[in-house]
Structure 1
Amino acid sequence: MPDPIAQLGQDLAAEQYFADEGLLTAAHLSLTLGRPLLLEGEPGVGKTEIAKVLARVRGRELIRLQCYEGLDAAQALYEWDHPKQLLAIRACEAEGRPVGELYDEAYLMERPLLRALRTPCVLLIDEIDRADSEFEAFLLEFLSDFQITIPELGTISAVARPIVVMTSNRTRELHDALKRRCLYHWIAFPDSSRERRIIEAKVPGLSADAAASLVAAVTGVRSLELIKPPGIAETIEWGQAAKLLTDEGAEWPTALRRALGLLVKEAEDTETVLVHAESLGL
């Protein structure tokens, strides 16, 4: 039989997502066992992107729940469209008709979690660490049953179990109960060879020498003591901007230095990188 993990790697690579063996194994087990995949790692290492790619590979809709402080169950599940209900009441009164049922599908506003129950999807719960502990506890219950009860309509269960990907940047520790529910994986920065594959795929037309020097520079930058080391996303944007500048006539090292604002986003980090510019090949 073909190796399913290798096949998954090929499917993701066809969508220009180059995962290492650890992430491929975690994703395969998550898909096979039906367990939510909890991904942590530095910003920009591809946590959110893998959910988008899995949706394309599996032919499913991507449904994203962006977490933030103050997010509650109503905002994540559903809400009733009260203005629409009020208009219906007024219209009925004006025409002398019975008001009828105001709590039906016509007035229901789907939010991401309810929609995820009603359509085969990849459910991306992004930056769960930004939500409050109370919402995390509610989410744990949702992930246990994949069903909700709307008092006015009854219980709604998933038509197909969602493929769930959760991401966290570790701004706070998640509860152990939620971690136990999930298959956990930490996404590290890629090694040089894998990052070069990513750059060559995402920055078409970049020469082999330029790609090699860019990856070497990024590897050196990450070795410095920075407030926010650059992720893969920043590397791609840096390469795209530098390629644009060279197309406009700039020399490659000069282009990298001029586009540095796309790689590092803190004044102190920029100063640190410029101090080491010569050794980094900038």
Structure 2
Amino acid sequence: MDTTKIPDSVESTRALLRKGKYVPDSGLATALFLSLKLGRPLLLEGRSGVGKSELGLVLAREMGRPLLRLQCHEGLDASAAVYEWNYAAQMIEIRLAEHEKDRDKDEVAADIFSERFLVKRPILQALEESDAGAPVLLIDEIDRADEGFEAYLLEILSDFQVSVPELGTIRAAQRPIVVLTSNRTREIHDALKRRCVYHWIDYPDAAREAEILEFRAPGIARRLTERLDGLVDELRQTEFRGDAFVRAAVDWAATLIDLDRQELDPKDTSAGIAQIIKNHQAGGAAAQAATLQGVLGDLGESSS
């Protein structure tokens, strides 16, 4: 694919993602199209497993762009996200300079704070010029980072430049395509949202979920897809509704294909359901058993 080409319509944006086996709804396709056209970051919020990070991966692959991924976490700072100096290499250079009597101290000072001692992290790498075109910068789970880092990131995304005191201001050669994701474990500041094109990714409806399963698990029988969709939808109504159902359903479908299953057999399904809801709550074993019994009972009734 031409790495400079940006989709020229919402439909071509949707087609680009579908080519990468990602099935967006019209709202997501529109948000991505606007983000690409306006050169603004795309902020995706939603529950875990609905495909937020996957969009960034697919976008980079299908547009032929380099992917730079920054995984956010508590305590993340500029040294891990933007840049830091290679202090060990700088100290070695200083020790070597001490044995070279003819080297000027100002020259040594300038040398150790040159780019060859600069360790570039994902955000700074995203501002560099590349023959492959502007990269896709995926800033994953921004809600897990501290508010201080979020404020720092806001400054960078406003002008797409980074100030390195020893070197000056480094500006983006080409604006990167920025995708931020959040599981909404905390509220993202309105100031950051205003800098972005915002979209909430919800659970897919039955038709789109079936399409996702067929895209990601080719060869699955239509009846099996429908039964799996219904079962996952029923699980969503339980107390375990916060889990990553879409991703887990895709994995489950792939397993059923490997086992050459054409139907959902209640005897064989409990392990798959357990992988979806997991045992993550206090007293989870008993709650999980009760949920399995109820859902499998419904499955047996609906198949009879």
TM-score between the two structures when normalised by the length of structure 1: 0.91
Secondary structure in structure 2 of the residue aligned to 1:124: strand
Residue in structure 2 matching 1:69, options 71, 74, 89? 74
Q: In the alignment, which residue of structure 2 is the partner of 1:35?
A: 40
In the comparison of the two structures, how many residue pairs are matched?
280
Deviation at 1:246, TM superposition (A): 4.2
Show structure 1 runs of 5+ residues with no match. Answer: none
| Shift, 1:112, TM fit | 1.0
CA distance in 2, matches of 1:141, 1:209: 51
| Equivalent residue number for residue 260 of structure 1 | 273
For residue 258 of structure 2, the aligned residue among 239, 244, 256 is: 244
Q: Is the 8 A contact 2:223 2:263 kept in 1?
A: no
Q: 1:5 aligns with which of 6, 10, 16?
A: 10
Q: Which is further off, 196-205 or 141-150?
A: 196-205
3-state DSSP of counterpart to 1:43: coil
Please point out which of 99, 117, 123 is paired with 1:113.
123
Please, which runs of 5 or more residues in structure 2 have no aligned partner? 1-6
Question: For residue 280 of structure 1, what is the amino acid of its counterpart?
Answer: L
**Structure 1 residue 94: Cα displacement:** 4.7
Counterpart mapping for 1:182-221 below 5 A: 182-221=196-235
Question: Does the Cα contact within 8 Å between 2:228 and 2:264 map onto a contact in 1?
Answer: no
Q: C-alpha separation between the residues in 2 aligned to 1:136 and 1:277? A: 44
Matched position secondary structure for 2:154? helix
Identity %: 46
SS at the partner of 2:219? Answer: coil
Matched, 1:54 2:73: no
Q: Give the letter aligned to residue 295 of structure 2.
A: H
Asked whether 1:88 is paired with 2:93, we answer yes
**Partner amino acid for 2:53?**
T
Aligned-pair Cα RMSD in Å: 2.3
Helix, strand or coil for the counterpart of 1:79? strand
TM (normalized to structure 2)? Answer: 0.85
Q: d(CA) in 1 for partners of 2:206 and 2:264?
A: 23
Shift of 1:96: 5.5
Q: 2:127 is matched by which residue type in structure 1?
A: L
Cα gap change, 1:254/1:245 in structure 2, threshold over 3 Å: closer, same or farther? farther
**C-alpha displacement of 1:276:** 2.3
Pair 1:224-2:238 in alignment: yes
CA distance in 2, matches of 1:161, 1:237: 35
Q: Is this contact kept in 1: 2:39–2:177, CA < 8 A? A: yes
Equivalent of 1:124 in 138, 146, 155: 138
